[in-house]
Amino acid sequence: MTSPRVPLVLLDLDGTLTDSAPGITASIADTYRALGLAVPSPTTLRSFVGPPITSSFPAHGVPPDRVTEAVRAYREVFVTRMITGNSVYEGIPQMLRELRSAGLRLAVATSKPELYARPICDAFGLSALVDGVFGAPLDEATSTKAQVIEAALAANRDAGPVLMVGDREHDVLGARAHGIDTIGVTWGYAAAGELESAGAAELVDSPAELTRTILRRLAATA
């Protein structure tokens, strides 16, 4: 008899599990100053949290021929803030424990380079609460969220059904490329209406509600 497949939940990192905006936005602002460019507004700075910076820099005033320079400058200051300018949202550890206790497999799937994502998850005790951490290569320009999700799925071929959890449109679109529904969390960094427009299956307002929603949706597919 074939064993039942274990459900898999893919979890974004920035804006979903951790409030990383303070460290990221301060580092982005420092990058613009280092390049002699006007620092974007606070709202624009927050929009950098989530998507690859290699796409965000040219979208917000960095000339294409200076993007590599901007990425280098950003990383020089970000490594000093990726822990100190970061924190885990209240209720997240309990959510992860409850989902694992329910027999689900959990994996972080982030557009952040895996080189940074792993030590961040280690520092905040998240690595011990999930079954894997998947991120972009250091050259983020060569990766999309869909490719990060593809790597997570390849490492969990025996799992299913699968859900994505994220706070930005690229989470929704990356998951959709693999036929996966996304639960959008409202405590992250999406602009008003962003998740709905991208096609998130549902929105939740707290980690406790997220736990209930994941369990309900996966039970419906059993």
Taking the whole predicted model, whether its pTM rises above 0.85 is answered as yes
Question: Distance between CA 14 and CA 21 in Å, rounded?
Answer: 8
What is the overall mean pLDDT for the chain? 93
pLDDT in tens, 87-145: 999 999 999 999 999 999 999 999 999 999 999 999 999 999 999 999 998 875 667 99
Strand order of the β-sheet with 202-204 is: 133-136, 105-113, 6-11, 159-166, 181-185, 202-204
Residue 101 amino acid letter: S
N-to-C CA span, the chain: 17
Residue 195 has pLDDT above 50, yes or no: yes
- Whether 174 and 102 share a structural domain: yes
- Whether 205 and 109 share a structural domain: yes
Q: Determine, yes or no, domain membership for 1.
A: no
The CATH number that applies at residue 62 is 1.10.150.240
The number of distinct structural domains making up the chain is 2
Q: Determine, yes or no, domain membership for 30.
A: yes
Q: Which two tokens stand for residue 221?
A: 């597919």
Model confidence at 1, pLDDT cuts 50, 70, 90, reads very low
- Whether 119 and 173 share a structural domain: yes
**Helix 21-34 and helix 67-78: axis angle, to 10°?**
130
Contact yes or no for 27/39 (Cβ under 8 A): no
Count CB atoms within 10 A of the CB of residue 62: 22
- Whether 56 and 143 share a structural domain: no
Contact yes or no for 104/143 (Cβ under 8 A): no
The CATH number that applies at residue 174 is 3.40.50.1000
pLDDT computed for residue 160 by the predictor: 83
- Whether 165 and 64 share a structural domain: no
Q: Determine, yes or no, domain membership for 25.
A: yes
What number is the average pLDDT over the span 23-42? 96
Residue 221 amino acid letter: T
Model confidence at 5, pLDDT cuts 50, 70, 90, reads confident
- Whether 132 and 212 share a structural domain: yes
Q: So which residues are the catalytic ones? A: 12
- Whether 138 and 97 share a structural domain: yes
Count CB atoms within 10 A of the CB of residue 100: 15
- Whether 53 and 66 share a structural domain: yes
pLDDT in tens, 42-89: 999 999 987 888 889 999 999 999 999 999 999 999 999 999 999 999
- Whether 63 and 172 share a structural domain: no
- Whether 70 and 92 share a structural domain: no
- State which residues form the domain around 56: 21-78
- Whether 158 and 58 share a structural domain: no
pLDDT computed for residue 221 by the predictor: 80
Residue 8 has pLDDT above 60, yes or no: yes
Last residue of a domain, one of 57, 78, 99: 78
Q: Which two tokens stand for residue 40?
A: 């974007």
Residue 112 amino acid letter: K
Q: What is the CA radius of gyration of the chain?
A: 17
Q: Determine, yes or no, domain membership for 150.
A: yes
pLDDT computed for residue 53 by the predictor: 87
Q: Determine, yes or no, domain membership for 133.
A: yes
Interior/surface letters 22-40, b for 16+ CB within 10 angstroms, e for the rest: ebbbbbbbbbbeebebeeb
> In a 10 Å sphere around its CB, with 0-12 CB exposed, 13-18 middle and 19+ buried, how is residue 163 labelled?
buried
Evaluate the omega torsion of the peptide bond into residue 7 and state whether it is cis, within 30 degrees of 0: no
Model confidence at 177, pLDDT cuts 50, 70, 90, reads very high
Residue 145 amino acid letter: K
pLDDT over 90, % of the chain: 85
Count CB atoms within 10 A of the CB of residue 92: 21
Last residue of a domain, one of 61, 78, 95: 78
- Whether 112 and 12 share a structural domain: yes
DSSP state, 51?
A: S
